[in-house]
Copies of this chain bind each other. A is one copy, B any other.
Amino acid sequence: MSIIRRNEIEAVLPVSLQNVQNAAARICGYVRQTPLLESSLLNEVLGFRLLVKAECLQVTGSFKARGGFNQLLQLDEETKRQGIIAWSSGNHAQGVAYAAQKLGIKATILMPHDAPQLKMENTRRYGAEIVTYNRDTEDRNEVGNRLTAERGLHLIHSYDAERTIAGQGTVGLEIYNQTCEQGISPDALIVNCCGGGLSSGIAVTCGLYEKPPMLYTSEPQFFDDARRSLASGTMMKNDRVSGSICDALLMPNMGIKPLQILLHHGAQGLTASDDDAQAAMHVALEYFKLVLEPGGAVSLAAAFLNRQQFQGKTVVAVASGGNVDPDAYIDMLRRGRVHRAKLLPQLGR
């Protein structure tokens, strides 16, 4: 289903490289430069060079603290006193709650009632007040708008806001610096996509390369609104917002600003199934010593699934988060172990 047409997607891009560079200078004392990891053993089996940007090691366990700090550090005193609100399934919730705690701002977070326990608990431990809604029966925007108005709060949008996109884009700046240090010019970047804040923010930085890499969004199978929107040039919507273990990547549709940026940069969409994501989590454990949540591993899964087209190339996959309930993680590894043998039989075991 198309909900916004191509002619509504404007020519003037909402976020510039300068915005991202300013964000990097603004947030650098609050977030980490995460490592860009590589395994020569895995590369040999894959037939291409895979670099993993480990955003699961970011403060709060995902890239979301970047956008959170870039937003909150620009608020005026009056807005800070009134407090902020964010709507999130868990990673934006934690990133914003943590940033608010560090900066002494009261945070209210609207979360789906079935968000992973770990994400909900940690959001509370970062000092935020949590309000829940039912993902299947209630409209998040409706509940969120009502709550925001009633309480007079300032909304920190998780993806469709210039400052959020610029903050997430700092991941792209780091990738650029880290690849340059190694004399690498990647052929492709694969970035997990839900609202599109991260992938569009990174897209803004691709022009830094003399030969810009191809940018791919990665989404769970059956929740591939970005892939379809990028292919058609119009905003497409998902039929459902639940039914995948990739809880971080389930929404009706991506943001208009991210879509606009991604279309401008000629991005394309990739997908991976839950099984593929679990197999990628297992590979990440063995070859990168990283704990990924399923939504954080879709980019790696997409790289594995499309390995024929990447032969001989250099691919950066952004591992966007690692916030998974430990018990669920163990179960996912068990299933991932079985499916990995199908996805990457060359790896053995």
| Contact in complex: A289, B56 (CB < 8 Å) | yes
Give the chain B neighbours of A32 by CB distance below 8 A: 35, 37
Partner among B37, B41, B118, B285 whose Cβ is within 8 Å of the Cβ of A291: B285
Assess A282 versus B326: contact at CB under 8 Å? Given A35-B35, A61-B289, A290-B290: yes
CA distance A322 to B40 in the complex (A): 16
Assess A286 versus B337: contact at CB under 8 Å? Given A35-B57, A291-B291: no
Smallest CB-CB separation from A125: which chain B residue? B41
CA distance A34 to B121 in the complex (A): 29
CA distance A79 to B291 in the complex (A): 41
Q: Is A343 an interface residue (CB 8 A)?
A: no
| Contact in complex: A326, B337 (CB < 8 Å) | yes
Partner among B40, B57, B98, B334 whose Cβ is within 8 Å of the Cβ of A330: B334
Partner among B57, B333, B337 whose Cβ is within 8 Å of the Cβ of A289: B57
Give the chain B neighbours of A288 by CB distance below 8 A: 57
CA distance A98 to B38 in the complex (A): 13
Q: Is A126 an interface residue (CB 8 A)?
A: yes
| Contact in complex: B41, A57 (CB < 8 Å) | no
CA distance A349 to B117 in the complex (A): 11
| Contact in complex: B333, A337 (CB < 8 Å) | no
Assess A327 versus B337: contact at CB under 8 Å? Given A289-B57, A289-B290, A291-B289: yes
How many of these chains are in the complex? 2
Shortest Cβ distance from A79 into chain B, in angstroms?
24
CA distance A289 to B118 in the complex (A): 13
* Chain A interface main SS type: helix
| Contact in complex: B326, A286 (CB < 8 Å) | yes
Q: Is A19 an interface residue (CB 8 A)?
A: no
Shortest Cβ distance from A56 into chain B, in angstroms?
4
CA distance A22 to B241 in the complex (A): 56
Give the chain B neighbours of A37 by CB distance below 8 A: 32, 57
Further pairs besides A40-B98, A326-B333, A326-B349: 16, Cβ < 8 Å: A32-B37, A34-B35, A35-B35, A35-B57, A40-B59, A54-B57, A57-B288, A57-B289, A57-B290, A282-B326, A285-B291, A289-B322, A291-B291, A327-B337, A329-B333, A330-B333
Interface on A for B, CB 8 Å cutoff? 32, 34-35, 37, 40-41, 44, 54, 56-57, 59, 61, 98, 118, 121-122, 125-126, 282, 285-286, 288-292, 322, 326-327, 329-330, 333-334, 337, 348-349
CB<8 Å pairs between A and B, sample of 19: A34-B35, A35-B35, A35-B57, A40-B98, A41-B125, A56-B289, A61-B289, A118-B286, A282-B326, A285-B291, A285-B326, A289-B292, A290-B290, A290-B291, A291-B291, A326-B337, A326-B349, A327-B337, A330-B334
